[in-house]
Structure 1
C-alpha cells in the first residue's frame, strides 16, 4: 500500500514547513512507529500528539524487548484523511531535567490555554534531587505545531506516567491526571505549570490489573474517565463517569475489547470534530511480531441516548472520505471475502500492504469513495499476476464500473482498464477476481 503524499494547494501553503505523511485508513501514520495518540481540536484542525516508538539502538545498554522512545512529533489534519507531520517538537537530550539517552519519552498530552499550547510528557530525571522514577514535565509553544520550549524542571509533586490534561469549560479549572499503579488527579494553577491542590487517588476503579493512560472529557455535563485496564492478560479500553472531574467515578463499560492479535497495550483519546465523535488508539499493525513498535489508528465513536458509549470495533478502513482520483488502498477494506492481506515486502513494512486474491470469486469492499461530479475514462490497477486474470470493479448495488484482463507478467505493473459506468457522489467499491488465481493488488485509482 503505497501512500499518496499530496494535498490541496491551499493547505500545502499553510503547512509549508510540514511533511505530508499519510492518507486515510488505519493506521493513519505509516512512515514511522507511533503510539499513545493524544488528539486535540485546535481551530479547524485536529492535532495528534503521539509517542514515537523506535527499535532500541545498538550499543546503548537498552533492552531490545521493551519500549524505546526518544522524541515526540505532532501531526495534524483538516479532514482526518490527509495528515501532516510537523516534525520533532521535544527530544530527550534537549530537556534540561531529563536523563540523557534514557529513551523513556512515554505517552504525552497537550492542551491550549489563552493562546499558549502546553505539552505534557513523562520522562526519567537525571538529577536525584528531583526524585527517582518517572515524573512529568511541560513544554510551551505559541502554536500547536511548535516550536516548544521545555520548562527547566518537571511539575513538583507528580510521580508517574501518562499525563492527561483537561480544562472544565464550566469554570475554567484545569486538571492534570496521571497513573502509577493507581489513577491520580489534581487541580492545576492557571499558569498550567504547577499543581493547585493536593493529589487525589481516584476512587472506584478496578483494584486488580494494570490501570494507566487516564484521559478525561466532558459531554452533556457528564465527565468521562477513559483508561486502559488489564482485565485478563492484555489491555482493553474502559470508561467510568462522574459529575465531578475528580470523581468519584462509576464504572460504565468497555470502549474497545482486547486486541484479537495480542497487542499488549492500548491507549486512547476521544474528541468531537465537525459533529462526529472519534476514538484514537493504537495497535501494532506495522510490527505484528513485536508489540512494542505500534501504530496509531482512528475510528468513529457513538453514544447511546443515556450517554453511555457504544463499544468500538476496530477497523482497517478508518474514517473519512477517500478521493476516487487518488490511490485507493483496498487492503484497508471495510469487508472481505476470500481475499487476504499481507505486506508488500516484509523487509520494508513501511511500504504497506497488498491484497491477494487467491482464487476466482475472492473480493474486497472499500466504503466511502468520493467521486464528486467528475467523470473518469479509466481505472488504473497496480497489480502483480504471473498467470493472468480478469478483475472487476463494481458498486455495492452490483453496477459494474470497470472490468478488464490483466496480462500475465512478472513484477508490479500498472494496468489501465476502461470505465463502463461511472458513479456519482459517494459510493462503496467492490473489487472481485472473476477469473485467475494468485493475483496481488496494491491500489486502484480512477483517471
Structure 2
C-alpha cells in the first residue's frame, strides 16, 4: 500500500515541470542535499535525487540513481538542466547501487569541477569521491576514470580561499576531515586531517564559507534526543581548529538535513531539504530561506517557511499558499488534478493571505489570473498591495467551478497601473454566514 501511494505521488510530481523559488523549490521530482553556488552572478543548485524504490530494491532505504542541475532564471523560476550523471556511468563505480549521495560543484580558473560520492566497484571503501570537469556550470562534464586517491567518505564540500588554495571537506560519522587539493583539482596535496573543535555526535554534510574574515564551517549534526540539526563553528583558519557556535536550524521532523549557505545578490540564503510533499523522509524536497547574521558574527536560527526566497515578477506563478502571512484561513494539501503542493483553504469573510516581494516592473501588467476551486458562488475576493486598506488593484467574483476539488483559471483586468516591488494581499468577501468561499492555488500577473 505504501509503495502504491508513493508511486502515485511520483506520477503526480512528474506531471508538472513548474519549478519555483517558493518552498519546496522543486516539485516535479524529489531532490535533497542542495549545494548552492553563485557563478558569475547566477545561482545554481547541485542536489541529489531521491526516487521511489524500484521493485527489486528493498525498502525502506535511500534510492538515489543520478544527479540533476538547477539554475535560477528570471524572478522566482528555476530551470532543470536534466540528468548529468547516472549511477551506471560512474567509471569506477558499482552498478545499480542507488547510492549517488550529496554532490558539490566549484569554479576555478574558468573551469567547473563537480565532486560526488559513489560506492566503488573495487569495494575499497563505503564511498569514494570522484570528480568531473566542464567548461560550463551545467555540463556536460568529463568524468575522471578513477576516484580521488587518498580519501574516502561522503559529502564532498569544496572551498577556495582568497589565496586560491582549494580545500576538500568530507566525511560522515563521529569525525569530519579536510584535505588541500592540488592545482589540478583532481588530487590531494596534503593528507586528510581531522577537523578539531567540533561537538561529539554523528556529523556529515560539511559546507564552508568565509564572511568578514571569519571561516564558517557548517555541518549536519545529530543530537541523540533531537535528531538531525544544522550546526556551525568558526575559525580564523580554513583547516581549523574551530569553535562550535550552535545551531543554524533545529531538527525538522524525523529524518536527515543537509545544506549550503551562499550570498546571492546581497542576501545570505540557507538551502536545505524536507519531505513535506511526500510525507516520507527518504523522498525529500529542497528548500531555501534567508539567513540573518548578527553584529557579532553569530547566525540567527533559521525557521523553515513556505514562502521561500526571491522576488516574483510578471509571468511567475505565485503560489499564495507559500504565504508571508495568513489570517482566518488555512493551508491544505491541494486536491483534484492540480500539480502536487498546497492551497489556501477554509476562507471566510475577511480572510486574507499575503505574499511579499512582487515586482510589477514598469507597469507592463494589465491583467491577473487566479486558479480557484469553488462549490458555490456567493462571494468574491479582492487584491490589494502593501496593506489591507491599501490600493486595490483587482477584484474577482467567485465562480462555481464544479466543486471544491474542481479547478478553474479565471482572470480579470488590473484596476490600476502598478509599478515597482510590492506585497500582494488577497482579501476574501462574502455574506457572513458563508463558511467556505473558495480554495485558491495561485495567481499570475500578465
Separation (CA, whole Å) in 1 of partners of 2:411 and 2:172: 56
Q: How far apart in 2 are the matches of 1:80 and 1:265?
A: 30
Partners in 2 of 1:246 and 1:104 — Cα distance? 28
Tell me which residue corresponds to 1:286.
277
* Closer/same/farther in 2, CA of residues 79 and 200 from structure 1, 3 Å limit: farther
Please point out which of 401, 414, 421 is paired with 2:393.
Answer: 401
- Corresponding residue for residue 239 of structure 2: 246
**Matched-pair contact (CA < 8 Å) for 1:21–1:85:** no
Greater CA deviation, 235-244 or 324-333? Answer: 324-333
Note if 1:94 corresponds to 2:89. yes
In the alignment, the residues of structure 2 paired with residue 146 and residue 377 of structure 1 have an alpha-carbon distance, to the nearest angstrom, of: 39
Q: For the residues of structure 2 that align with 1:123 and 1:66, how far apart are their CA atoms?
A: 16
Q: Contact 1:20–1:82 at 8 Å: present in 2 too?
A: no
| TM-aligned CA deviation for residue 325 of structure 1 | 4.5
C-alpha distance after superposition, 1:213-242 (max 9, x if no partner): 010111122111001111233211111001
Find the residue that maps to 1:214 and give its secondary structure.
strand
Which of 349, 352, 365 is the equivalent residue of 2:354? 365
Distance, in Å, in 2 between the alignment partners of 1:117 and 1:256 is 30
CA RMSD of aligned residues (A): 2.1
Say whether the 8 Å CA contact 1:360–1:434 is kept in structure 2: yes
Q: Does the 8 A contact of 1:45 with 1:79 survive in 2?
A: no
Residue 341 (structure 1) aligned with residue 320 (structure 2):
no
In 1, distance between residues paired with 2:50 and 2:441? 26
Cα distance, 1:424–1:71 mapped onto 2, change above 3 Å: same
1:20: how far off?
7.3
- Given the alignment of the two structures, is residue 228 of structure 1 paired with residue 220 of structure 2, yes or no? yes
Which residue in the other structure is 1:303 paired with? 293
Q: 1:192 to 1:80 in 2, by over 3 A?
A: farther
Residues 415 and 172 of structure 1, relative CA distance in 2, 3 Å threshold: closer
2:321 is the counterpart of 1:331: yes
Q: Which residue of 2 aligns with 1:11?
A: none
Aligned residue in 2 for 1:383: 372
| Residue matched to 1:14 | none
Write the deviation string for residues 18-77 of structure 1: whole angstroms up to 9, x where unpaired: x97523311122211111111111112111110011111112xx2322211010011112
Indicate if the aligned counterparts of 2:24 and 2:285 stay in contact, CA closer than 8 A. yes
Of 180-189 and 394-403, more deviation after overlay is shown by 394-403
Q: Structure 2 CA distance, aligned partners of 1:138 and 1:124?
A: 14
Q: Secondary structure of 1:133's match? A: coil
1:31-430 matches, within 5 Å, as 31-59=28-56, 62-78=57-73, 81-128=76-123, 131-169=124-162, 171-181=163-173, 182-208=175-201, 210-231=202-223, 232-259=225-252, 262-287=253-278, 289-345=279-335, 350-374=339-363, 377-388=366-377, 389-397=379-387, 398-399=389-390, 400-410=392-402, 411-430=406-425
Cα separation, partners in 2 of 1:214 and 1:80, compared to 1, 3 Å: farther
Pairwise CA distance, 1:269: 0.9
Q: Is the 8 A contact 1:382 1:412 kept in 2?
A: yes
Verify the 8 A CA contact 1:286 1:350 in the aligned structure 2.
no
CA distance in 1, matches of 2:444, 2:137: 34
Q: What's the secondary structure of 1:255's corresponding residue?
A: strand
Q: TM-score, normalised by structure 2?
A: 0.88
Q: Which residue is 1:9 aligned to?
A: none
Partner of 1:29: 26
Post-superposition shift, 1:80? 6.5
Q: Distance in 2 between matches of 1:251 and 1:118?
A: 30
Once the two structures are superposed, residues 138-188 of structure 1 have per-residue CA deviations (whole angstroms, 9 ceiling, x without a partner) of 11112111111221111112121111111111x221111112311111111
How far, CA to CA, are the matches of 1:376 and 1:78 in structure 2? 20
1:374 positional shift: 1.5
What is the SS of the residue equivalent to 1:408? coil
2:77/2:316 contact within 8 Å kept: no
Aligned-partner Cα distance in 2 for 1:147–1:418: 45
Alignment partners' CA distance in 2, 1:376 and 1:168: 45
**1:99-127 deviations in Å (ceiling 9; x for gaps):** 10000000011111222211111111111
Q: 1:80 to 1:123 in 2, by over 3 A?
A: farther
User: How many Å separate the matches in 2 of 1:319 and 1:413?
Assistant: 27
Offset, 1:350: 4.7
